[in-house]
Amino acid sequence: MEFQLRQCDPAQEKTGTVIVAVSGSEFSAAARALDEASVGQLGRALKSAGFEGKPGQVLALYGLAGSAAEQVLVVGTGELKDLDSRGLQRAAVAAVKALGKGPKKAVSFLTELEARDLPLEDRISNIVRASLEGSYRFDEFKSKKNGDKGLNHLTLAIPDKSAATAGKRAVAWGQAVAAGINRARDLGNTPPNVCHPKYVAEQAKALGKLHEKMLDVKVLGEADMKKLGMGSFLAVSQGSDQEGQLVIMDYKGGKKSEAPVVLVGKGITFDTGGISLKPGAGMDEMKFDMCGAASVLGVMTALVESGLPINVVGVMACAENMPSGRATRPGDIVTTMSGQTVEILNTDAEGRLVLCDALTYVGRYKPAVVIDIATLTGACVVALGKVVSGLFSPSDELAQELLDAGQRSGDRAWRMPVWQDYQDMLDSPFADIANIGNAPNGGAITAACFLARFTKDYTWAHLDIAGTAWLSGAQKGATGRPVPLLMQYLKQRVES
């Protein structure tokens, strides 16, 4: 999709579709202009269609009097005073989806909505990003491809020429973030017989090849991990015929001396639960258990596209969790790279087992901060649903920065505690730590507490994306979250 910025007059636009917003009962300036040009026809049409300007509501009007365009698409946003980045994105996605097979060109006036705390640039980035997310298709494995990609040219209305330079930057940022999001979605959606650990590693290597100057990619196999003493990681992958891979992507956008931000993603390419086998219903969705890793690759993609001046090391801990004669048993005790021993009481709590060794490994980068991203616990979905990601960090400062980045990017997180009272639940009579808590509750927190024991040497945060990384049911598919949150966080670091 191509984007353009231009000063536009809603009634004079001849391009295919003109997109305008109605916020509750309040017409945006462009909607008002069209209502006047049509001598009230727009308002009457909305009234008879029962259009209330609610979030996500759309109404297409063809041949509206006074408009030179083929179609006028009215999008609801809910009350303007409540509109934030998320609401603006929802409106932009609804618009792109409603256009479907309609005209290929559109002019959007959604840019004029003064959403809460969002300057014009942020509004532009959000609309660009959402439009690209909304037109995403995954038909790689359909024999009949969806040839019609819908809208291919979107003009964003800007108030005057002076906004063009900053506007262009905002478009580029939105495009880079969307490229990262959609890359993560592709990887998440790819079936687990194709997307195994080596496949993920190949994807990273291919990205490194395309951007040799900016991105170094290194892959550790099981022999390397054995030498490093990663007994916990290997306990997960030993039941599988697919070799586990630790993928390290080093993005060098900043000064050589600058300490990197390290991102560590859980990359379980399929989680059967291992010997602690999962129930059958919905198990196919455990192909999404590598979405943390996919989001790290997505961030690296967005970084090379945007050229953001910062150093970031992205790590993907990739393994397949399978039952077999070689698989880990409940009760097995392993030694982690940190030297701490773990009693594996449940082989389905495997994410923390691959992550703890990866988190010990990244200490060598002397990181400014480390953030791990994982579809870690069903308990997190119980607590927060599929709306926000769980955020855990002993650092108030880092937690606040990530919460802010989530709010600003519309990819929100909510903080949960990492307290000693929960740590006690991980005591084991036989090893230094058990891999599950001793109570049937607080599962997202005890999982975070487990990771906390391996991250004491640096400032750390953990994002549990079990609820947010993918959607189920009719909309089944990876969301690309939390790429937007992470990119916003990295941008804020550069700007501050």
Give the one residue of 134, 167, 274, 351 binding Zn ion; rule: CB under 5 A.
Answer: 351
- When CB distances are held under 5 to 8 angstroms depending on the partner's kind, the choice from Zn ion, ligand BES, Mn ion, none that residue 295 binds is none
Q: Select the span of 106-114, 348-356, 398-406, 459-467 touching Mn ion (CB under 5 A).
A: 348-356
320 lies in the site for Zn ion, by CB under 5 A = no
348 lies in the site for Mn ion, by CB under 5 A = yes
Q: How far is the CB of 102 from ligand BES (least distance, A)?
A: 36
Which one of the listed residues 278, 386, 415, 493 is annotated catalytic? 278
Q: How far is the CB of 156 from ligand BES (least distance, A)?
A: 37
Q: How far is the CB of 289 from Zn ion (least distance, A)?
A: 4
Q: Select the span of 77-85, 135-143, 269-277, 470-478 touching Mn ion (CB under 5 A).
A: 269-277
Q: How far is the CB of 218 from ligand BES (least distance, A)?
A: 26
Q: Select the span of 44-52, 79-87, 346-354, 456-464 touching Mn ion (CB under 5 A).
A: 346-354
352 given a catalytic annotation = yes
Write out the residues near ligand BES by the rule CB under 6 A: 271, 289, 346, 348-351, 375, 377-379, 381, 436, 443, 466
CA distance linking residue 311 with residue 53, whole number of Å: 43
222 lies in the site for Zn ion, by CB under 5 A = no
> Which residue has its beta carbon closest to Mn ion?
348
Pick the closer one to ligand BES by CB: 305 or 350. 350
415 given a catalytic annotation = no
Which one of the listed residues 352, 408, 412, 453 is annotated catalytic? 352
372 lies in the site for Zn ion, by CB under 5 A = no
Q: Select the span of 270-278, 358-366, 422-430, 477-485 touching Mn ion (CB under 5 A).
A: 270-278
Pick the closer one to Zn ion by CB: 109 or 454. 454
289 lies in the site for Zn ion, by CB under 5 A = yes
Pick the closer one to ligand BES by CB: 148 or 284. 284
271 lies in the site for Zn ion, by CB under 5 A = yes
Give the one residue of 13, 271, 411, 464 binding Mn ion; rule: CB under 5 A.
Answer: 271
Pick the closer one to ligand BES by CB: 41 or 346. 346
CA distance linking residue 417 with residue 164, whole number of Å: 44
Give the binding site for Zn ion (CB under 5 A): 268, 271, 289, 351
Give the binding site for Mn ion (CB under 5 A): 271, 348, 350
Which residues have a catalytic role annotated? 278, 352
